[in-house]
Structure 1
Amino acid sequence: MTCISCSKDDADDNTEVEENPMEDFSLLKEFDYDEHTLEVYSENNTQFEIGYTPLYMRIKDKVSEKYVENADLSLKPMMHMENMMHSSPVSPVVATDNPTVYTGYVVFQMPGNATEYWDITFNYSLNGTEFSKTERIDVVAPADGLKRVNTFMGTDETRYVLAYVGPVAPQVALNDMTAVLHKMETMMEFPVVEGYTVEIDPRMPGMGNHSSPNNVDLSYNGQTQMYAGKLSLSMTGYWKINMKLVDDEGAVLKGEDVTDENPESSLYFEIEF
């Protein structure tokens, strides 16, 4: 996301050519307004999918035809159901290394359908002027059908949203694993949960439900506001990452141990590679 110089015919007069910082990203939506064009990108997906969804945004000024720096931008997702509305976990939006590119994530808990749908309100401030734009989007289940988000009631009578973040490209190795954990305070507020533990027990159901060595449970990282640990994958194939959510006092809020009598936890992610 930088500028590079190139010369023509070895001439002394170099010209600055700006690289496209979104060249390797997929454009999910482009919204056209009177004053601006708002572009929304994904790094790994070609559509809005349920689960942890990082978004990258750019705002283009129609008068100057330049991308805007230092915009104060925020997101408000909303699910319109037949009898109610609710929001979802959403992060603050921050600028990337390129000051014209902004990023934040949304955790979509469910896909839309013919009668129920998601929209996102983009609120942004430029030069003291406030803008608010609401756009309907199509949120779908992942094509592979694998489970990457859990919405559940804990034993403490609190509703939680636990979503898989990575590894995005799992390998036969000890992988860095990350997830995000939010709780539903109201239908519109889903703050990050701090200081809990996500215990993991990855298994291969198609291979005798064997596990793998050297896994490290996920603990809270205050700097990233995510949960991080180590996921050991000893071979390629389908894995079920069984989990238990444990609060800061050691109480199990959701999930069970995997045993011969209980082959899977009620709290899990799925991956296949």
Structure 2
Amino acid sequence: MNKIIFLLTAICFVVLSCTKEKTDYEAEINTVVPEHLDFEEVANIHSDGYDIRIEALNGTFYKGYNEVRLKIMDSQTHKEINATDVTFLPIMSEADGNKNSCPHRYNLVYKTDSDYLSGYAVFTRESNTDRSWEIYINFTVDNKAYIAKQAIPVHEQINKNLNMTAFTGKDDEQYFIALVSPQKPKVGENDLVAGIYKFNKPTNSPAGDFPDPSQFSYTEVSGYTLQLDPRMPEPSMGNHSSPNNEDLTQQSGGLYSGVVNYTMTGNWTLNFIMLDQNGKILKGTEVPTDFTPGVEGVKSELHIDILF
């Protein structure tokens, strides 16, 4: 009888702990997880008679994935001009003099239906007193080339649903995975979108005026698969997963899309195994499937933590 009472007490403790954690996370959603839907001006560069207006969600650049919208206008007429060969290059300078970039779309694409130039930047680190970012923009008007640059701040991403990770694969290449959506997941099945990028190691020495874009080149990897195993790693959650998840595969726009099923609000870990075009594992490990109440769940060597 004593053993039965002890067992029932333990079960109640686990259930109550799970409920408490759920309640705490639900309360945190209202104050921690923002959702930005509007594009606002994040920078306006005045250069050689032209105004370059740059927009991002919430008018802010964050660590992680940022969609970038850009327009170039005549400073006097305030009318949009027909610029060609528009490029976008973010450069990070550190206190020791080192300079790096981040995954980005170098050649911007003009969206005829929306009248803006489209790109993105996956900022890998926030700005601080020892680290700063600048954006370099090149464009051509009437066969004349122009160069503009401006310092910009990159802020901490407080929305963990938009986290990112950087790592070296088994092929000795440097990769980046950045979550793109959902910004604010719901309980149930969610379309999970991410970008996967690789740094292109320079094959030549820097040439011309700084910055030489060949030294800061990145590509969207093609034909990879991101196997997904979402779990709640908190001890009170027992490392449980969920059904109906779908691995991430590349879509026509270059991003990777799958399905993640969140059965409740709280702290989740997206465990990944990344495969190349030939099915070779480049990073990631399988995680145990055991239900382990009271014990923190084991995470893949390739994972991203989220919270909603």
Stretch moving more, 141-150 or 50-59: 141-150
Aligned position for 1:264: 299
TM-score normalised by L of structure 2: 0.74
Please state how far the C-alpha of 1:262 moved relative to its aligned partner: 6.0
Q: Which letter does structure 2 place at the counterpart of 1:55? A: V
Partners of 1:24 and 1:46 lie apart in 2 by 8
Residues 1:29 and 2:51 aligned together:
no
> Which of 277, 283, 289 is equivalent to 1:248?
277
Distance, in Å, in 2 between the alignment partners of 1:25 and 1:69 is 22
Alpha-carbon distance in 2 for matches of 1:139, 1:197: 30
C-alpha spacing 1:155/1:244, structure 2 compared with 1 (3 Å): same
CA shift digits 1:127-150 (9 cap, x unpaired) = 222111111111122134667211
**Superposition deviation, residue 215 in structure 1:** 0.7
2:263 maps to a residue whose letter is: S
User: Aligned pair 1:163/2:198, yes or no?
Assistant: no
Query: What is the deviation of 1:174?
Result: 1.8
Unaligned residue ranges in structure 2 (runs of 5+) = 1-36, 202-214, 291-295
Letter paired with 2:74: D
> Which position in structure 2 is the counterpart of 1:132?
147
Alpha-carbon contact 1:118-1:139 (below 8 Å) kept = yes
Report the count of equivalent residues.
249
Q: Which has the higher strand share?
A: 1
Post-superposition offset of 1:199: 0.7
1:69 touches 1:100 (CA, 8 Å); kept in 2? no
Q: Which of the pair has the greater relative contact order for Cα pairs under 8 Å at 6+ separation? A: 2
Distance in 1, matches of 2:124 and 2:97, equals: 17
Structure whose alpha-carbon radius of gyration is higher: 2
Distance in structure 2 (CA, Å) of the matches to 1:54 and 1:238: 26
Q: Deviations over 1:241-270 (max 9, x none)?
A: 111111222222111111159611122223
* Equivalent position amino acid for 1:161 in 2: F
Change in 2 beyond 3 A, CA 1:244/1:167: same
Contact 1:175 1:231 in 2 (8 A): yes
Q: Check the 8 A contact 2:271/2:302 in 1, yes or no.
A: yes
Q: Which of 227, 234, 237 is the matching residue for 1:199?
A: 227
Q: 1:99 to 1:123 in 2, by over 3 A?
A: farther
**Structure 1: gaps (5+ residues):** 1-22
TM-score when scaled to structure 1?
0.83
Asked if 1:212 is matched to 2:242, the reply is yes
- One-letter code of the match for 2:307? E
Structure number with higher helix proportion:
2
